[in-house]
Structure 1
Amino acid sequence: MKRHDKERPNKASAGRRFAVWLIVLAVAAVLIRLALASRYGGFMSDQELFVDWMRQVRQRGLGTVYIEGSNINYPPLFLLIMEAYRSAAGLFGIVPAAGELSFKGVLIALDLAAFGAAVLLTRSSGRTAGRLFVLALLALNPALIFGSAVWGQVDMLHSLLMAASLLLLPGSPPAAGALFALALLSKFQAVTLLAVFGIYFLRLLLRREFRPPALFAAGFAGVTGACAAFFAWSGGLQAMLKGAYLSAVGMYPQVTMNAMNVWYYFIGTPPTTPDTTKVLGFLSLRTAGFLLLALCVVYAAACLWRSRMDAAALLKSAALVNFAFFMLPTEIHERYSVPALVLAVFVCLYDRRWRLPAVLLSLSVTANLWMVQAERIGVYPGLAVVYVNVALLLWMLLALGREMRAGRSSDTADRNAKGRRKARAPGIG
């Protein structure tokens, strides 16, 4: 009884220390972002476009803005968030302007909301150093800070929703389905999770476990159905689908749009090479990139199939698929690496071996973003980033492969043990 009495103050003290660390991280995250957002204008063309979208939504309404507006090629969730921010800022007489804190405030708020969501999503890990590492890498990550507070982009939104969907999938399929729908309503890149979800639910269905897939589908349908009904009622459903998901496809037909991937001189292709260029006389570079991605997705799916199908395995497979999506297809932008980074950070919650790769990936993404935003892209500095990224992709492939082989060895050992037990069992005679 006395021992329990001693343990309670220790637990309370540990809880207070952990809470203090969370407050320190949150405050540091906000202050750093505010300082950088105030000092650096960022990527003005993106921000000017977003501010113009705010104006168009205010004038025409969200339901018809895709019909009557122009140059809107993001899904509606971000437009809805920006309109809510514009309305709230207007109460204080603030008019969002590109390159100013008045606009970047919405991005900083999203980053802070993502940190708060991460605190909740990692609660099952307790007050551990591993959990604190993950939260610190999210709050103070130079790539995530640069992407929002300096550049002025919103990649953290769909990236966090993707990670949250995978984290909740084993225990709460309806919430996972709803979050995946929100991720798709934030950015179409979230579609990369379909391969992961497909393998997960296929295995459940083969085991005749029908309830989790049905619950996931219900959560997904609830969100997407409400969105579709809203735009259909406004008459803008077809225009929304075309503008948000189809209009940007094939817009930049070159091998890479500033992404430091395999197409950036690594295999001898300058970035401006048209991806319609034929190789072997019949295969375009664009098709070759998709074939490489398909091979990587099949590999990740096979590794996931042989795993325990827990949150760690889901995150690892998704991180590999998303990093392969950044590294292998053509026409990829520099910011498409952010979801892979966020997923890799959450993997660190379960596997210490991913910590160094997650840090290196953070630095390579930061370098890529800075080079583009500062217009200081050099061939050899860019290639240095490419070599780091290629090494990280190979490491992910090998890491998942080792785990798949270990799973096979474990299954074989279990089967052999069962066989020996049967052989020793007395017969009926």
Structure 2
Amino acid sequence: MNGAVPPEEDRRKWLLAVLFTALTCLLLIRPGGFGYDIDDWARWTDYIAQNGLAHVYGSGSNYLPLWLYVLAGFASFFEDAQQIREQIHLLKAIVLVFDFAIVFGVASLLDRYGISRFRSLWLLCNIAFLYITLYWGQVDSFFTAFVVLSFVAAVNGKPEIAAALAAFGLAAKLQAIVFIPPLALIVLVSQWRSPRRLGTSLLSFATPLVLVCVPFLAAGTFRQLRGVVTGSVGFHAVISKNAFGMWSVLMPGADLGSIPDANRAFGLSYQRWGLLVFAIQYSLLFVWMFLALQSRERLLADRERFAHFCLAFGLIPLGFFLFPTEMHERYIYPALPFFALFAMLTGRKGLFAALCVAQFANIEIVLQATILGPFLQQFAGWKLAVLFIGIYLVASARIWRNLAGDVAGWQGSVFRTARSGHLAFGILLAGVPLFGSLAPYFWSQLQRPRIEGEHVLLSSLTASKAEFGFEKPRINESWEGGPIRLAGLAYSSGLGMHSWCRMTYRVPSGSRFFRSVIGLADSAQTCAEASVVFRVLNQEHSPLFESALLRPGSKPQLIEVALTGVTAVTLEVTDGGDGRDCDHANWGEPAFMLRGR
């Protein structure tokens, strides 16, 4: 921990600490997580058990094959769908293996520079690092482990192993594609005088990709797999899926999960603008890595320089999270190991700590799995986005400053040009919050009706009965989290439901009618499968009101239901007969009106 090479006894103590942490993590595994993802794992696993791995895309799966192989292996331990669903949370134990694989990869690089492996516990004993596996139930560490281990193999001069691991990462999740060019650059620079090893590295990369596709080729379902790959861009065709990046600052307060990224500004779609900004950022990073690798021996011998190289690698997923549209809240995860390496190698922990705080806050705002969830949900997303942007600006400034003065000749000319580009990019990025605060953002929307007169808000009452088929409804927030939103308007009170769902309330004495704004939630407006029907029933379950079938594009509507002789009402949301996918329904400011309107 003081920088000296640890003795063998110290390494054994580190291993014991890792094993103790692993046991603790296993004991913390519990059912639950993000409902949609957990439901997908169970559904796809059962489908594989019934129909075989090669036909899994008939279930609607949108994941690449390597994770589906894991589900196929998991399915072999259970006899039926009920057992699979009851034990699906045990998948977290499998994914934990890859969290620990990342830590072992990081520890091996610390060994290279004579730093105690105990520093790797900064990453392992970190809620921001383990949250996605233990709480969310997602598999981001699955592909990230292959990326990190590929990076370790590449810098250690093992190009074939690096190439194979990179291929497995890509076969696990398409998101890994952003790492392939810089990993290839490391291999190319180290082996450019050995065409034979470059050839074997290329073969090592291609072979795993072909092998994972063999069952699909043999069964004639490869076209479905290809469709998943080509359909990845545009699968969630909205500005953001709860990733608090650049767009959260450009459009503060907007529900980015309901705005199509096909919308245009200044001649380009939001999607194209996001990809353009990411391409600029990515190109500048690639130039920096290319220049840093021109003296590979010094890069690997100089701990400070190598630490900045790790930081540059971490800026790749950070930029991928910040700039393109359609990003999820979890996509910052692969940056954590590389920012951690920078902190461990230099002892400067500020950037890593800030990234951990920001990443934890982003995902906890969505899932709310800890006691901090309700507090963090009050935190404006654009403020968190400013923190992410600040981390990016500080980290990128550090890597360019570290390389300054060490390049000359044509390399110096390239460096100065690229650094000027980085400076211009940084100035524009730093100006994003100012632009967001000044840019007007108008919505075509239903005006929020004013509640005048004496009334009782439904959210102030306790339901006498609650029934639901998927997950329980939420009070004063949408089912996916965040404010109740209909056509861009946020409502301070209401119910967020997912079909099917029923909530029964006793009618307060003196109530004349029930009033609410109803509609398909903004979060479901881009999902073609979304369809809901709203009903208000009396104490005898006779309908007092029934809406038409509401689909994406249906306008919210204000309803007023007379309550003469009614002692209890049931608010019900059902699907449109085409399944429950995306059936997010909101009741905006529901109230029992005593007098007035």
With normalisation by structure 1, the TM-score equals 0.81
Matched-pair contact (CA < 8 Å) for 2:282–2:316 = yes
- How is 1:28-427 mapped onto 2 (pairs within 5 angstroms)? 28-32=21-25, 34-35=27-28, 37-38=29-30, 41-66=32-57, 69-87=58-76, 89-90=77-78, 95-97=83-85, 101-116=89-104, 118-119=106-107, 123-126=111-114, 128-129=115-116, 131-133=117-119, 135-170=120-155, 171-200=157-186, 203=189, 208-243=193-228, 245-266=229-250, 268=252, 270=254, 271=256, 272-280=258-266, 282-308=267-293, 309=296, 312=306, 315-353=310-348, 355-374=349-368, 378=377, 380-408=379-407
Matched-pair contact (CA < 8 Å) for 1:30–1:108 = no
Residue by residue over 1:78-102, the C-alpha shift from the partner in whole angstroms, topping out at 9 and shown as x without a partner, is 1112222343x549xx934369643
Shift of 1:278: 2.1
Q: Check if 1:25 corresponds to 2:7.
A: no
Residue by residue over 1:368-403, the C-alpha shift from the partner in whole angstroms, topping out at 9 and shown as x without a partner, is 111011285747442332122111110221122113
SS of residue paired to 2:70: helix
Matched-pair contact (CA < 8 Å) for 1:114–1:157 = no
Change (3 A) 1:218 1:346: farther
SS of residue paired to 1:78: helix
Matched-pair contact (CA < 8 Å) for 2:246–2:322 = yes
How many residues align structurally?
Answer: 390
Let me know the Cα RMSD of the aligned residues. 3.1
Change (3 A) 1:174 1:235: same
Tell me, in whole angstroms, the C-alpha distance in 2 between the residues paired with 1:108 and 1:177: 23
SS of residue paired to 2:324: coil
Residue identity matched to 2:391: L
Matched-pair contact (CA < 8 Å) for 2:309–2:399 = no
Structure 2: 5+ residue runs without aligned partners? 301-305, 413-597
Question: Greater share of strand residues, 1 or 2?
Answer: 2
Matched-pair contact (CA < 8 Å) for 1:48–1:98 = no
Matched-pair contact (CA < 8 Å) for 1:278–1:285 = yes
Residue identity matched to 2:269: S
Q: Indicate the residue corresponding to 2:416 in structure 1.
A: none
Q: Indicate the residue corresponding to 1:421 in structure 2.
A: none
Select the structure with the greater relative contact order (CA < 8 A; seq sep ≥ 6): 1
- Percent pairwise identity: 22
Matched-pair contact (CA < 8 Å) for 1:306–1:407 = no
Larger deviation, residues 402-411 vs 364-373: 402-411
Tell me, in whole angstroms, the C-alpha distance in 1 between the residues paired with 2:392 and 2:111: 29
Residue by residue over 1:341-378, the C-alpha shift from the partner in whole angstroms, topping out at 9 and shown as x without a partner, is 2232234454444x321222122111111101128574
Tell me, in whole angstroms, the C-alpha distance in 2 between the residues paired with 1:412 and 1:337: 32
With normalisation by structure 2, the TM-score equals 0.59
Tell me, in whole angstroms, the C-alpha distance in 2 between the residues paired with 1:381 and 1:32: 31
Tell me, in whole angstroms, the C-alpha distance in 2 between the residues paired with 1:266 and 1:168: 40
SS of residue paired to 1:407: coil
Residue identity matched to 1:346: L
Matched-pair contact (CA < 8 Å) for 1:97–1:103 = no
Residue identity matched to 1:104: K
SS of residue paired to 1:54: helix
Tell me, in whole angstroms, the C-alpha distance in 1 between the residues paired with 2:74 and 2:166: 23
Bigger radius of gyration: 2
Structure 1: 5+ residue runs without aligned partners? 1-9, 414-429
